[in-house]
Amino acid sequence: MHWSTLLFILGTGPVHAQDELVEAGLSETELERFRDGVSALAEERYQDAQGQFWRVHLTNRGHPQTLLGLGQAYWGEGQLKEALQWFDECTHLLEDCAFSAGEVALAIGNTDEAVDRLERLAEEQSPDVERRVRWGLMKAYLAQEEIVRAVEESVQASQYDRDQENDPWTQDDLQSLLMLAKQVRELQGQEKPWESSETSMWPDLLGVLQSAGEGMEGLEGVEALEAASFQIEIEEAARRRFGGIDRALDGAQQELARAARQALSARKWVEAEQHLRSLAAEGSQSSEYWGLTGRLLLEREDTPDWSEAERALRMANKLAPSNQEWGSRLVRLLTEGFGGRRDKEALPVLFELVAQNPTPELTMQLGDLSSKVGEYALATRSYTELVERWPGSTLVEEAQDRVAALERGIPGAAVVEAQPEGLEETVQKGAQWHYHLSVVLQGRGRPEEAVIQARQAVDLQPSWPVAMNHLAGLLVVDSPREALSLWEESLRQAPDQVQVRTLRVDAFLRLAQPASALKELEVLVGTAPEYHFRRAQIHESQGNLVAAREALADYFSGYTGVLFREEALALNASVAPPDSGQPWVLFLGLGLTFVGGSTGVWRWRRRRTGLSLAEFLDREPRSYHDLARVLAGMRHEVLKHNTTLLPTVADALERGDRGPALDASGILLGGQGTSGVIDLWDRYLGELEAIGHSHGVRLNLRFIDRQIAPMCDAFDSLRQLAPRLHKGRPEFMVEKIRAISTAVNEVGYRELGKLLHEVCVLEVDRGLLEDVWRRVAREPGIVGRGLAAPVLEASEGMNVRVFREDFADILANLLRNACEAALSDRPSNEVRIGIRVVEEMDPVTGLSWVAIRVLDNALSELSNDMIHSRRIGRGIGLALDLAKRSQGSLVVEPEDGWSKAVVLRLSMAEEAEG
């Protein structure tokens, strides 16, 4: 923004004429100072520039370029209000002052004032308003969310450029343009009235984007644009319109690609690399080039790291999403190269691949991967599609089995959108098309567009339950009533949809209509008696304990499966009548029945019931490992590199620099085909809730959890703030950003660490070892055999990273194994068992371990091979699995004075931790 004005000062036209014009009326001394000021500006020494221009101003107060220079110097220092005052002084003298004043007003956040100033300037310059003024207006309208006018200005600016063959647009201009494109896209998605006009703005804007892209050469230009954009819509537009196209290979390039392929197949890496270099030198940016490069990096043994291979394959996949080879390789890299850690990232790639190349094998793979990462609805849909689309495939039986397993095994699994029999012939092609498009859009995280497509499918085929169910699923959160009526119609068409009824139950509860939910459940329990439990839950939550007990009795008498079993037992215990007659309990129950009926109390209860993570861990200690995985992900993937940017954004905004805010918006909201950190947070929360659900427990993380709830609040605030980070008023934003940063980066980070620490650090001391021994000594094979107590050698308590239950199980298994082995070949009175606990340290990493050495004098041999190949029973396999889960190890080592030591090593946690 500074440069346009600076160029004017320095002289962009005929230099001498400009110099004469600018320098007119200045004495020699003033001229020297003025030139020094200009040089200082050019070198970004703003304080020096201020000094020089100020001196000129003292002796020549009306000189417009000096006033402009002063404004520029203050602007450069980030003193925007002062800059505006200087520009104001010369606005009537110099168009550049008027323009700069508008730009500064915009930077300060006074959008109305910016528009006012720039409009006036545009009127004065009529009829041929220069490009930069139009740009300024475009940005000002954008800040005012006057999208139509902003598009008009950008189109005219583009036209002006074409006429004048102006300089290429700056990165700043492009960012504004891409933001505008995003907003247009969003507005179109919302079906704004103007969308119905014959000339939609989107093509106009794409034309502008195209002309911007044409000014840049090759892929670099596209990448620069993409780097500036932060929404997938823009990425798609950019790709479609200007350059991200898969450029065809010419004859010589084809020859090089073929030679590279042959060399790769022959594993001649150097030769392949040479061919690919030649291909690049020939200027190829084709998917073939990137794909082969990715393959080379992936297959050769001396590849420095896989991230370069991943980049190349992603590029190939992006340029040619329908190319099965590159997509498959990328999926394989992500799923097989990282031990399952990046399966979720592979899912959208595979999804796109299946959409482009639908085959039974790929569809099956999509089902398997979806199931593995917990996307059960997508898994079910994939398997079902395989069955319906390729009935003759050898994979059909397997797919059917998996659908059945999914239906059986997952409480609350999403609705199976299977086609009711007899309907497929009647569904119009158009409806099917819109439905599938909607599914794809939903998969890409674009729910608003998915809803539009789903509505069109339902409009075209109102009797099609599949589309109705899908649309209802999309609407249920925001418009539960509409979702309910869609499901009602769907059930009228196909009454035997158990899961649709369960979804209706949830929707009624969401609307605080428990009576309707109960009515739906009355129908449901006819075919699925396990749902008596849900009836009991609802009665209990309303304080109707008698009805809850009756429903539970129906559950236990009518259903013998495992679904909801543990939860039902727990509920049964909590609603059981009191042992002794206590009249106040009855009154309390009656009171609760009365009060619990109201909507407010229902919501109140929902917010205050459920378990916190700490309570859940107490109740379900075995869930620790799953929870720890998610919590560690929250801590390292959500916070690291992401929300830690917030203080920098706040500092920059205070200085008047919006660049970091714009960058941060992209990171927080996502784009370029990747999720934003806010979505990532939501996904992790969903994973935690799903872990609770899998144990039959409702986790209430958002309202009652001491550690997570404040972070949820902070992320909610961030969600509202993120889209406005770069355009809101800095004075309002800064304080909020700092508060969010404190809640997330400092308190949240610390609290998550504490939570992880509290549950996984255990002090191992003599008392604990003796407790475990007593437990083993009471077991049937050992009790009464007269074994002597083990020899214990343990110093003061040492903290190890393991969950208490796991540790007790591992040690019990090792002790039991030692006793049984010794008892099998020695008389009881000769059996000796010992436990020695020692600290060990690795000097290279500085890590310490606690080694728990379980000693015995058995004669039979036990080797590492036997442990790790699981050729022995006696619970050693379980001990090994539990040790591994805690990143520990289990090995057999010699020990002086004993037959052997089975050594459990666990990481040591230092005292200061937490």
What are the residues binding other proteins (CB under 8 A)? 301-308, 310-311, 337-339, 341, 635-636, 639-641, 644-648, 651, 660, 663, 745-746, 749, 753, 757, 841, 843-848, 864-865, 867-868, 884, 887, 889-891, 905, 909-910, 912-914
* CB-based contact 257:289 (threshold 8 Å): yes
Q: Which is nearer to other proteins, 51 or 877 (CB)?
A: 877
Q: How far is the CB of 341 from other proteins (least distance, A)?
A: 7
Task: Compare residues 171 and 599 and give the one whose CB is closer to other proteins.
Answer: 171
- Give the three-class secondary structure for 222: helix
CB of 237 or CB of 661, closer to other proteins = 661
Cβ neighbour number for residue 219 with a 10 Å cutoff: 17
Distance of closest approach, residue 355 Cβ to other proteins, in angstroms: 27
- Quote the Cα angle for 738-744-745, to 5°: 80
- The CA-based angle 34-38-44, given to 5 degrees, is 140
Which residue, among 56, 50, 55, 44, has the nearest Cα to 71 in the 3D structure? 50
Rounded to a whole number of angstroms, the minimum distance from the CB of residue 778 to other proteins is 30
Work out how close the CB of 817 gets to other proteins at its nearest, in angstroms, rounded to a whole number. Answer: 15
User: Nearer to other proteins by C-beta: 525 or 737?
Assistant: 737
Q: Are 644 and 679 in contact (CB under 8 A)?
A: no
Give DSSP secondary structure letters for 697-744.
--B-TTTT-TTHHHHHHHHHHHHHHGGGTTTS-HHHHHHHHHHHHIII
Residues 6+ apart with CB under 8 A from 771: 808
905 SS3 class = strand
| Least spacing, CB of residue 209 vs other proteins, in Å | 23
Q: Where are the alpha helices (DSSP H) in 761-875?
A: 766-777, 804-825, 864-868
Choice between 239 and 635, CB closer to other proteins: 635
Phi, psi of 618 (to 5 degrees): -60, -40
Our CB check for other proteins shows the closer of 1 and 662 to be 662
What is the closest distance, in whole angstroms, from the C-beta atom of residue 484 to other proteins in the complex? 44
Distance in Å, CB of 84 to other proteins, minimum: 26
Closest to other proteins by CB, 206 vs 737, is 737
Complex with other proteins: residue 467 or 814, whichever CB lies closer: 814
Q: Is residue 757 within 8 Å of residue 800, measured between CB atoms?
A: no
Are 26 and 60 in contact by the 8 Å Cβ rule? The answer is yes
Asked if 501 and 494 count as a contact pair (C-beta separation under 8 A), the reply is no
500 or 867: whose CB is closer to other proteins?
867
Closest separation in Å from C-beta 845 to other proteins: 5
Q: Residue 853 — φ and ψ, nearest 5°?
A: -100, 115
Alpha-carbon distance of 55 to 769, in angstroms, equals 83
In this complex, which beta carbon is closest to other proteins, that of residue 182 or of residue 635?
A: 635
Question: Which residues, listed in sequence order, are joined to residue 852 by a DSSP beta bridge?
Answer: 837, 904
The amino acid present at 779, given as its one-letter code, is E
2's CB contacts (< 8 A; 6+ apart) are 41, 72, 75, 76
Q: Please report the sign of the dihedral spanned by the C-alpha atoms of residue 48, residue 53, residue 56, residue 61.
A: negative
Shortest Å distance, C-beta 72 to other proteins: 20
Provide the minimum distance between the beta carbon of 278 and other proteins in the complex, in angstroms, as a whole number.
24
Q: Work out how close the CB of 762 gets to other proteins at its nearest, in angstroms, rounded to a whole number.
A: 16
Structure tokens belonging to residue 509: 């509860």
**Are residues 714 and 744 in contact, defined by beta-carbon separation less than 8 angstroms?**
yes
Q: Closest separation between CB of residue 318 and other proteins, Å? A: 16
CB of 68 or CB of 902, closer to other proteins: 902
Least distance (Å) from other proteins to the CB of residue 502?
39
Q: How many whole angstroms separate alpha carbon 560 and alpha carbon 117? A: 76
Cα(819)–Cα(823) distance, rounded to whole angstroms? 6
* Cβ nearer to other proteins, comparing 2 with 606: 2
Query: Is 514 or 748 the residue whose CB approaches other proteins more closely?
Result: 748
Buried b (16+ CB within 10 A) or exposed e, 696-733: bbebbbbebbebbeebbebbebbbebbbebbbbebeeb
Work out how close the CB of 691 gets to other proteins at its nearest, in angstroms, rounded to a whole number.
22
d(CA 611, CA 705): 8
| Nearer residue to other proteins within complex by CB, 59 or 869 | 869
